[in-house]
Amino acid sequence: MRCLSLLLTILIFLQASTVRAEQPTLDLHAALKLALDTHPGLRAAEWELEETQELYPQARAGWLPTLTVSGGITSTNIKSSNFNQGTGATTKDVTASIDQPIWRGGRTFAEVDRANDLISAGEAVLNAARQDILQRTASAYFEVLRDQQIVALRFENEDILRKEFKAAKSRYDLGSGTITDTHQAEARLMRARTDSLNAERNLFQSEARLEEMINMRPPFKLSDAMTLIEFPETTVEMIELAYAYNPEIVFATFEQQAAEHNTAAIFRELLPQVSGFASWNKQYDPQPGIVDESQTDTVGLRMTINLFQGGATRSRIREARKAAMRQQFEIQDLKNTIRRDVVRDFKSFEAAELEIAARNREIELAKAALKGVREEAKAGQRAFIDVLDADEDLIDARVAYAQAIYRFKSTQYTLAATLGILNTHADIVTENF
């Protein structure tokens, strides 16, 4: 019988080990790649860039000729005419024409430059969308890790308090304890149970956020590895880096340059416009019906000078100049905001790094205090509530440590996104923590 029980135990252990071994592991790199490959927000941003890129061929069309071909058929009956032989005819005609801009006052150059700037601004928008998705995915990933650890800690604390409650109740039943100790232990157990339920709820919410980002919710296990991103040593260097790479600043800069080129394009509407044109026309049975066919070839140059359009063009020039000037001040304001965010995120990152060491030391001291309180309680120098308080101090310290780890990991990605370098650090260094 003992052999059978031992055999069943071994089989159950092997089955559980196989299940754990077969459980897939989703590391941070894989999660970020899934988000970039499947997130619909990024697909929408990519299609938006595709739309913006069509501005270039539209602007370049100002250098290219316009070619048209037309045809028609017209029936005419002339009842009174000076032509003795012409009483009308059914005319069939074909016309081909070409119009080639030669000089548009430089407007095409300005329009092409504006299109290129808007495309670059669109690329900055796509870069911002990528960084936002990477940052949100990493944050959700770390949230799940944090909440998984907190759930485990809450259940562990619940088991400890359940044992404390049973021990207090046993002492009371034996007459060596008080009913107050039993009530206090049970109250702490109920509190621990509530904390476990809240921790599970938070974990479900975190898993839902991660599922939203990576578009999958399999029974995977997350890899608990510390992520390291190299940053400049000083905040001055970080601010300079953010000015150069932050997608919001890059977008605003190209938008302002596009506004300048738009001003130039509108101004060049006032300059002389020169174009060449040519046409070929073939008519069968031309009016008034005297000859069988005719052909007309035309070639020439055309110059147009806009002398006055009611002041509308010059008003548009002033409007465009003011828009470009407004965007310059918006860039300055945006840089001030980015500088503030860089300092804030860097200080948060530094504080999170220091907090890890402090929380780790807090756990060591809480363990030592709990051990001492238990020994003193056995000697009658401490009340039972002191033991419960020491238990709670230790679990609170361990939960705070898990939260500190989350903040340290998450603030790295927040700072990298503010600096605009999160895309370049998608393949980050990982070390076991």
The string of DSSP letters for 321-378 reads: HHHHHHHHHHHHHHHHHHHHHHHHHHHHHHHHHHHHHHHHHHHHHHHHHHHHHHHHHH
Q: Which two tokens stand for residue 165?
A: 């409650």
In whole angstroms, what is the distance from residue 95 CA to residue 67 CA?
11
3-state secondary structure of 433: coil
Q: What is the 8-class DSSP label of residue 65?
A: -
**Radius of gyration of the CA atoms of the chain, in A:** 39
Closest C-alpha to 341, from 259, 227, 419: 419
Strands 66-75 and 90-103: antiparallel
For residue 2, what pLDDT is reported?
44
Amino acid at 7: L
Q: What is the 8-class DSSP label of residue 380?
A: T
Cβ proximity of 387 and 366 under 8 Å = no
3-state secondary structure of 283: strand
Is the Cα dihedral 7, 11, 14, 16 positive or negative? negative
In whole angstroms, what is the distance from residue 153 CA to residue 204 CA?
16
In whole angstroms, what is the distance from residue 347 CA to residue 267 CA?
48
Cβ proximity of 188 and 394 under 8 Å = no
Cβ proximity of 404 and 352 under 8 Å = yes
**What domains are defined for the chain?**
25-65+102-272+311-432 (1.20.1600.10)
Phi (first) and psi of residue 27, to 5 degrees: -85, 175
Phi (first) and psi of residue 15, to 5 degrees: -65, -45
In whole angstroms, what is the distance from residue 377 CA to residue 159 CA?
20
Three-point CA angle 360, 366, 370, nearest 5°: 150
Neighbours of 296 (CB within 10 A): 12
Count how many Cα atoms sit within 13 Å of the Cα of residue 293 in the half-sphere of its side chain. 8
Q: Give the residue carrying structure tokens 């999958």.
A: 216
Inter-axis angle of helices 179-214 and 28-38, nearest 10: 50
Q: pLDDT (tens digit, 0 to 9) for every residue of the chain, 433 residues total?
A: 444 443 444 344 444 444 444 567 888 888 899 999 999 999 999 999 999 999 999 999 999 999 999 998 887 776 665 555 656 678 888 999 999 999 988 999 999 999 999 999 999 999 999 999 999 999 999 999 999 999 999 999 888 888 888 888 887 888 877 888 888 888 888 988 999 999 999 999 999 999 999 988 756 788 877 677 889 989 999 999 999 999 999 999 999 999 999 999 999 989 999 999 999 998 887 776 677 788 889 999 999 988 888 889 999 999 999 999 999 999 999 999 999 999 999 999 999 999 999 999 999 999 999 889 888 888 778 887 888 888 889 999 999 999 999 999 999 999 999 999 987 654 443 333 3
Q: Which two tokens stand for residue 367?
A: 């363990």
Cβ proximity of 140 and 213 under 8 Å = yes
Q: Give the residue carrying structure tokens 């975190």.
A: 206
Inter-axis angle of helices 312-378 and 384-419, nearest 10: 160
Cα–Cα distance list, 40 to 47, 231, 417, 423 (Å): 11, 30, 20, 18
Q: Give the residue carrying structure tokens 């996104």.
A: 417
For residue 10, what pLDDT is reported?
37
